[in-house]
Amino acid sequence: MIELRDIHYARIGTRDLDTAEHFATQVMGLEKVERTADRLYLRSDHRHHTLCYFLGDPSEQIIAFNFTSWQALDAAYEYLQAQSVPCGRGNAEEAADRHVQGFIWLLGPTGNRIELLARPHDSARRYFPARDAGVTGFGHVGLCTTDPVRDQAFWLQHFNAMVSDWIGPCPLMRVNPWHHQMALFPSTRKGIQHINYQVQDFDDVMRSYYFLKDKGIKIVFGPGRHATSGGIFVYFEGPDGMVYEYSNSDRKIIEDPASYRPRQFPMHPSSFCVWGAKPDIAEFKE
């Protein structure tokens, strides 16, 4: 069993770093940390970065978690090997590229690449947003799965993951007291289904909704309120068709973990939005 503390970053390929930079900074309000010939690092909080665009195939999409213990790397690698999970060690050059002291990677059953980070770098500077979108940090990802039951079992078997709620067969899972760091959504492909940034409050969601509309950005869901986490949200489309989400309050559910019971919601639009917004997102439809 591998103990994870939190989701840490997403890395996604793009053929067009200029467009990615404009969108990530001027639209989403993330802070550009560094741009090289083939990398764009973006901050949203205390960490060195929580999003990295790299020059490459847009279907290459990676998520990373950090360990609960800074000493866990070697034992986790040995565990994954013993469990015959496809995995490998990152070398020094790859670790430098990720701004971590060390990492291992593994492939989940759908083929998603997950990186596990040892001592990822913090920033010595305050997060200074390119636009005041109210971003407080990286929240979670929706991850595509070709078999949610199988992939849920994989996460529950090998990691300290717990199910917070289900929508149909889709588990919303956590490794810490926040409602979810990852949700699995059925798809015919692997990869990231959406990337969430947390914002300070309701006003930030609505302010961004009008801002995005004004800029002609495609809104794909919301504004609305999730039945599961209670978060108020808006989803919109970024470069290469990636869906981004702002939401507030992936509510901190686990004041009493012993009595918390994961709830089963039906696969119905009302489970995604209690206000009645209808998603224009394939994986959220019945």
**Minimum distance from CB of 102 to Fe ion (Å)?**
29
User: Which residue's Cβ lies closest to Fe ion?
Assistant: 196
Nearest CB to Fe ion, comparing residues 165 and 245: 245
**Minimum distance from CB of 181 to Fe ion (Å)?**
10
Question: 116 phi and psi, to 5 degrees?
Answer: -115, 125
Residue 248 touches Fe ion, criterion: CB under 5 A: no
- Please state, in angstroms and rounded to a whole number, the distance separating the CA atoms of residues 239 and 226: 25
Q: Exactly one of 61, 66, 196, 208 binds Fe ion (CB under 5 A); which one?
A: 196
Nearest CB to Fe ion, comparing residues 17 and 143: 143
Residues 155-174 that bind Fe ion (CB under 5 A): none
Side chain identity at residue 281, one-letter code:
I
The radius of gyration of the chain from alpha carbons, rounded to an integer in Å, stands at: 18
Place of tokens 């213990």: 69
User: Which secondary-structure segment (H or E) carries 227?
Assistant: none
Nearest CB to Fe ion, comparing residues 98 and 194: 194
User: Which secondary-structure segment (H or E) carries 20?
Assistant: helix 17-22
Stretch that binds Fe ion, among 101-109, 120-128, 196-204, 277-285 (CB under 5 A): 196-204
CA 209, 187, 114, 2 torsion-angle sign: positive
Stretch that binds Fe ion, among 77-85, 89-97, 162-170, 241-249 (CB under 5 A): 241-249
Task: Specify whether the CB–CB gap between 185 and 145 falls below 8 A.
Answer: yes
Stretch that binds Fe ion, among 7-15, 111-119, 238-246, 260-268 (CB under 5 A): 238-246
- Which among 119, 114, 55 is positioned nearest to 86, based on CA atoms? 114
- Beta-bridge partner residues of 137: 198
Phi-psi region of 258 (alpha: psi -120 to 50; beta: other; left: phi over 0): alpha
Size of the site for Fe ion (CB under 5 A): 2
Nearest CB to Fe ion, comparing residues 21 and 283: 283
Q: Exactly one of 245, 272, 273, 281 binds Fe ion (CB under 5 A); which one?
A: 245
H helix count then E strand count, the chain: 6, 17
How far CA 214 is from CA of 23, 27, 76, 219, 241, in Å, comes to 14, 11, 47, 11, 19
Stretch that binds Fe ion, among 29-37, 47-55, 237-245, 251-259 (CB under 5 A): 237-245
Nearest CB to Fe ion, comparing residues 129 and 279: 279
**Minimum distance from CB of 180 to Fe ion (Å)?**
8
Stretch that binds Fe ion, among 40-48, 126-134, 168-176, 194-202 (CB under 5 A): 194-202
Can you give the binding site for Fe ion, defined by CB under 5 A? 196, 245
